[in-house]
Amino acid sequence: MASVMFVIGSVLIFLVQVFVVLVFIRVIFSWLYGPFPTNGFARVLWRITEPVLGPIRRRLPIIAGLDLSPVVVWIGAGILIGVLRFIL
């Protein structure tokens, strides 16, 4: 049973880390291409990350023209990974 929980936890940690990388790539793309992607890869990236970033963005004020929702996601992901590692 413990090994099954370890595998599930490891997969969850991996998926969270992949999502963090995707958010980072999205931030870079938004600097390069603007907030409305026309590139196919960027559109897929937006579709994957927007369900998490969108609700956070709506609750946070934009400070000096900066969208801080990726920072909140990175902090939350770090906390989630830490909790998962502690549990495992």
CA dist 82 and 88 (Å) reads: 10
Structural element, H or E, at residue 12? helix 2-33
pLDDT string in tens for the chain (88-residue length): 778 989 999 999 999 999 999 999 999 988 888 777 788 888 899 999 999 999 999 999 888 888 899 999 999 999 999 999 998 8
* Overall number of domains in the chain: 1
> What is the span of the domain harbouring residue 16?
2-87
- Residues 30, 40 contacting (CB under 8 angstroms): no
- Give percent helix, percent strand, percent coil of the chain, each to the nearest 5: 80, 0, 15
